[in-house]
Every structure is written in structure tokens, then in C-alpha cells.
Amino acid sequence: MGLSERPRGRERPAQYAVLGVDVGKLNDPTVVAIVHPVEEWTGRTHHVGHKPPWGSCQDCTHEFRWRHDVRGLETLPLGQPYPVQARRVVDIASGVLSHPGIDWMFLSTDATGVGGSFVDALREDIMNRGLERIYVVPITIGSGEGDACKGSFSSGRVWVSATALMSRLKNKAQAGRVRLVDTDETRALLDELRTMEFGLTESGRLRFGARPGSHDDRVYALALATLNEGQAITYSESPFL
């Protein structure tokens, strides 16, 4: 493809969607963020092996990046047992899976602390219903300042520091790579984002969090749903690991 030609499709929607699930604890509700990754053309081209003029490009390729389209947010009622909440999350996943072009679903779920039992409830509900193409990805959120994740969606488990999780969401939002729809839940999400504060601890470590009395559940759900960068994802069983 020469440089004078433009990509035939400026956007390439992923064949999967991601549910980011922030598991409620005590007085915090469980929140689900529905995200559909889309590969979009940046308007730039990777030029390989030659200098200007660019018109004779042969092996050069157009540059794409991943955008995260938020298709919905839902806050589940407080006080419901985890099996009931898990059933609702799987209902949402099944509904998204019925849309044309969505071939499989990933449930990117906070598995920190009691979140592990929520992961069990999700897997139990999926198994009991005999559902396919819905995969639970436990995300363990740790302390520290690591800037990279351990594990992957394809391996079925991920560890990420809270700082890295939020920093990635912040960077993607500032780069225009998160697209929202105008709903009451989205406006509540924006209110939560405005209360998030970044600072330094006495030891010099970066920290963040919502202001006292504020919530960050929607922010975490969105961060979990946008953690993956849209790599070509395959799923395989990983027993005994």
C-alpha cells in the first residue's frame, strides 16, 4: 500500500468486549463497566527502509492505536449476596455477547481479598448455565509502584499495582483513548474522577485515592475494563498453575 492510499477502514472494532467488575465490599457497591475496544487509525504511517519522498512506499504500514469505547455502566444494589450479583454480571455479559460482531467476552474482575469469592461465584454461574465464550480474568490489585502487569488475559490471571492501574487509565483518558456515552452513570463516573487525588507519601511513593467521603467504584471498574491494550487474545486452559 503506497502512502497516497489511506486504510480502507479507519476503525477496526475488536471481536470481543470487556466487562470491568469492581467488587463491592462493605458499604461500596459492585460496579460493572462495559467496554468495546476499537483499533483506530492515528493518521500516521510507519516508514520502513527509505527516506523521502514517501510516495513510493511498498512495505510501510499505517499506524493504529487502541481506543476504549465505554458502552455502559451499571451499579448493582447494595446488600445482595455475591451469587446474586454474579448472576447479574453474567446476564450483562450474555446480553453483550448477543450483539453482532462480539464473539467472546472477558470479565476483568477485581480478585483482591474477598473478590476471590466473587470470581468463584462468576465461574460457578457460568458453569451451571453451560455458557461458552465468557471468560473470567481475575485481576489482583497490589500495592507498590510497578509500572507493568504480571500475567496476561490469555493466561487467565493478572497482577497489577494500584498505581499502575490508575496511571494507565489517566494516560489513556488524557490521550483521548477513552470514549464515553452521556448517561447518569457516566456523569457519576466523571464526578468520581474529579475527586481522585494523586500525591506522594512520606517515603516518596506515588499514591492516589478518592477524597474522604467520596467513592471510586466506577473509576476502578473502568480502569479494570481498559487495562488490556487490545492485543490479539486467545484463551486456553491453564490447570495446576
- pLDDT of 197 reads 63
> How far apart, in whole angstroms, are the C-alpha atoms of residue 221 and residue 22?
5
CA 86 centroid distance within chain: 18
- pLDDT of 5 reads 41
- pLDDT of 56 reads 58
Using CB atoms within 10 Å of the CB of residue 33, give its burial: 0 to 12 exposed, 13 to 18 middle, 19+ buried.
Answer: buried
- pLDDT of 233 reads 39
- pLDDT of 124 reads 97
Using CB atoms within 10 Å of the CB of residue 164, give its burial: 0 to 12 exposed, 13 to 18 middle, 19+ buried.
Answer: buried
> How far apart, in whole angstroms, are the C-alpha atoms of residue 173 and residue 70?
12
Reading the block at residue 24, the C-alpha cell is 463491592
Per-residue pLDDT of the chain (241 residues; tens, 9 = 90+): 333 344 456 788 899 999 999 999 878 899 999 999 998 877 777 666 666 555 556 667 777 788 999 999 999 999 899 999 999 999 999 999 999 999 999 999 999 988 999 999 999 999 999 999 999 999 988 776 554 555 555 556 688 888 888 888 888 888 889 998 888 998 988 888 887 666 555 655 555 665 555 568 999 999 999 988 754 433 333 333 3
- Give the distance between the most distant pair of CA atoms in the chain: 65
Structural domains in the chain?
Answer: 13-37+68-225 (3.30.420.240)
